[in-house]
Amino acid sequence: MRVIDHFIAGGTAGLSAARTSDVFDPNTGAVQAHVALGDSAVLERAVEAALAAQPAWAATNPQRRARVMFRFKELVEAEMETLAHMLSSEHGKVIADSKGDIQRGLEVVEFACGIPHALKGEYTQGAGPGIDVYSMRQPVGIGAGITPFNFPAMIPLWMSAVAIACGNAFICKPSERDPSVPVRLAELFLEAGLPAGIFQVVQGDKEMVDAILDHPAIGAVSFVGSSDIANYVYQRGAANGKRVQAMGGAKNHGIVMPDADLDQVVKDLAGAAFGSAGERCMALPVVVPVGADTADRLRAKLIPAIEALQVGVSTDPDAHYGPVVTAAHKAKIESWIDRAVEEGSELVVDGRGFVLQGHEQGFFVGPTLLDHVTPQMESYHNEIFGPVLQIVRANDFESALSLASKHQYGNGVAIFTRNGHAAREFAARVNVGMVGINVPIPVPVAYHSFGGWKRSAFGDTNQHGMEGVKFWTKVKTITQRWPDGSVDGGNAFVIPTMA
Ligand code: NAD
C-alpha cells in the first residue's frame, strides 16, 4: 500500500518507516494509504537541511522572498481542483469546503507577499547627542508547525507563509489523519523557487512532536489542536526555552437576541454548526436564544432547516457536509450525544446511526439538535467537534453574556441582533478572543490575527497578520554613535541616560 512520506531537503525522504499509521477515506471507511511515523532521527535530517539552507534564505532580500510567495500562490491556484480533491479524500469535507480551506491559507500567502513592508523596523534619529536608535526584525531561525486534521491546508499555510517570508526555515508536522496536502505544498514551494530545506514536512505522532519540542535548534513552535495537547506542547516547548504559540479547542456560542432576524440566524446556524460536519474550531455548536419566546420561535425554524440538510460523500456537489474524519471520531461524537441525553437534554433531531446508502462503512453522522442544555452538563462543557447543535436558553442579555464569558473555551462568539448598543456592549465585555456581530464564523482576515482566549490558546501571540510576524521574528535594537572626535562621551562607568 502507498506510504505517505516525509519531505526533507527538497524531496521525499525515502526512509523505511519502522512505524506507520492508517490514512482512511472517510467516505468509504477504507484504508487508502499508510503514513510514515517519524522519530528523532528523521527530524535530525530535516533540521540539518534547514540549518544548511536558512542563513542564505534569511540573507535573501525580503522582496525576493516575497516573489517566491507570489509564484507559490499562482501554482496553488492553478492546482486548486486537484488539491481540493486530495484534501477531501482524506478529511471528508465537501469539495467546496476544501477549496475554502486552501483559499483561506492562500490569503495568508497574499499577506506574506507584503513582508518587505511588515519587516520595516523603527528608527529614532538623535535619541541622544550624536546617537540614533533603530530596530530590526530578524528571523528566529528554524520554526516548526504542528497542525490538526481539520484544516490540513489553511493551518500549515497560516504558519509557514509568515515564517518563511520572515526568513525562517519551517518544518511542518501535519496531522497523521490527513497528511498529504502539506507534502504537495512542499513540492509547489520548491517549484516556486523556494530553496530546498526551507519548507519541509516530517510525518508522525507524539514521538515526532516530542522530538520537535526537545530539539535545541528549533527556536519557535506553533501548534494548533486540542487544548490538553496544546497545553502540553506549550509547557514542554517553553521549558526547553522555545517560543511557543499553542491554539486549543473551542465551543463557540451564538447569542440570539429577541430582535434578531431569525430566518437569517437559521441560515447562518445551518452553515456554522453543521458545515464541515462541525469539525471547525470556529463552528457555532451552542446557540443561546435570549428569552423563552425567542427560543421557541428559533427552535421551530431550526428543526425543518436541520432536517433538510443533505449529508453526502465529499464529492457530492449537493451535500451540505460529508463524513467525519475517522470511525473513532464518529463514535466519540455519538457517545457525546448519548451523554447529553443521559444528562437530561432533549434530543430534538437525532443524527446517531446515520447510514448513507451505498456508503454503509463511511464515517457519517446525521445532524443533531439538542434543547434544554444547561451549563452544568459535561456535554456543554466539552468540545464535541461534530454536527451537533446545542440550545442553551438564557433569560436575559446578562446571562447570555456570562455563559460565553465563563465557558472554559474562548475562541470565538457571535451575537445576532439589530440593536447596535447591545452588540457594542457585548463585544466590549465578552471574555472571548474573536467576536462576530451578525457574523456566525468571525475568522479574522489574513492581515488581522487569529487567536482565542482562555483554554483556546496558550502563549501570547496570535496566528498571521502582524502578530504572526512578531512570533516568527526577534527584535534587535541598535544604539549607534559615530563620534567625530568632538562628541563628549561622558562618564563611561555609569548607566547611560539621555538626560
Ligand atoms: P489533536 O490535538 O488531536 O492533534 C493536533 C496535533 O497534535 C496533530 O499533529 C497530532 O499528531 C498531535 N498530537 C496528537 N496527540 C498528541 C500527543 N499526545 N502529544 C503530542 N502531540 C500530539 O487535534 P485534532 O483532533 O487533529 O484537531 C482538532 C482540534 O483542534 C479541536 O480541538 C479543534 O478545536 C482544534 N483546533 C483549534 C484551532 C484554533 O485555532 N484554536 C483551529 C483548528 C482546530
Average pLDDT in the chain: 96
**Of 81, 59, 295, which is closest to residue 169 (Cα–Cα)?**
59
Model confidence band, residue 495 (pLDDT cutoffs 50, 70, 90): confident
State the average pLDDT over residues 252-279: 98
Q: Which of 149, 172, 329, 453 to mutate to test the pocket of ligand 1 (most atoms within 8 A of CB)?
A: 149
What does the DSSP 8-state code read for residue 444? P
The span from the CA of 42 to the CA of 36, in Å, is 10
Atom 16 of ligand 1, residue of closest alpha carbon: 206
Model confidence band, residue 15 (pLDDT cutoffs 50, 70, 90): confident
Catalytic residues: 281
Give every CB contact of residue 360 below 8 A, 6+ residues apart in sequence: none
Q: Which atom of ligand 1 is nearest to the CA of 457?
A: 41
Least confident of 16-25, 66-75, 486-495: 486-495
Model confidence band, residue 136 (pLDDT cutoffs 50, 70, 90): very high
Give me the pLDDT at residue 319, please. Answer: 98
| CATH match for 253-437 among 3.10.129.10, 2.60.15.10, 3.40.309.10, 3.40.30.10 | 3.40.309.10
Q: Which atom of ligand 1 is nearest to the CA of 175?
A: 9
State the average pLDDT over residues 271-290: 98
State the average pLDDT over residues 219-231: 98
Q: Which atom of ligand 1 is nearest to the CA of 247?
A: 41
State the average pLDDT over residues 453-466: 97
CA of 223 to the centre of ligand 1 (A): 8
Give me the pLDDT at residue 26, please. Answer: 98
Ligand 1: list residues with CB < 6 Å. Answer: 146-151, 173, 175-176, 205-206, 209, 224-226, 229, 232, 247-250, 281, 383, 385, 411, 452, 456
State the average pLDDT over residues 202-206: 98
pLDDT tens readout for residues 311-344: 999 999 999 999 999 999 999 999 999 999 999 9
**Higher confidence at residue 331 or residue 14?**
331
Longest Cα separation, the chain = 89
Q: Which of 180, 203, 208, 224 to mutate to test the pocket of ligand 1 (most atoms within 8 A of CB)?
A: 224
Domain 3-248+456-478 of CATH type 3.40.630.10:
no
State the average pLDDT over residues 215-244: 98
Q: Is the pLDDT of residue 489 over 90?
A: no
Least confident of 14-23, 37-46, 408-417, 487-496: 487-496
CA of 251 to the centre of ligand 1 (A): 15
The span from the CA of 168 to the CA of 60, in Å, is 11
Give me the pLDDT at residue 163, please. Answer: 98
Q: Which atom of ligand 1 is nearest to the CA of 411?
A: 41
CA of 478 to the centre of ligand 1 (A): 40
CA of 400 to the centre of ligand 1 (A): 29
The span from the CA of 365 to the CA of 324, in Å, is 7
Reduce the secondary structure of 351-393 to three states and give it as a string: CCCCCECCECCCCCCCCEEEECCCCCCHHHHCCCCCCEEEECC
CA of 188 to the centre of ligand 1 (A): 25
Report field, pTM of the whole predicted structure over 0.85: yes
Q: Which residues share a beta bridge with 246?
A: 223, 458
Q: Where in the chain is the domain with CATH 3.40.605.10?
A: 3-248+456-478
H or E element: which one contains 60? none
CA of 491 to the centre of ligand 1 (A): 56
Model confidence band, residue 232 (pLDDT cutoffs 50, 70, 90): very high
C-alpha triplet 373, 379, 384: angle, nearest 5°: 120
Give every CB contact of residue 347 below 8 A, 6+ residues apart in sequence: 337, 340, 341, 368, 369, 370
Q: Which of 39, 157, 281, 448 to mutate to test the pocket of ligand 1 (most atoms within 8 A of CB)?
A: 281
Give every CB contact of residue 28 below 8 A, 6+ residues apart in sequence: 359, 361, 362
Q: Where in the chain is the domain with CATH 3.40.309.10?
A: 253-437
The residue to which cell 444528562 is assigned: 343
- Beta carbons within 10 angstroms of residue 425's beta carbon: 14
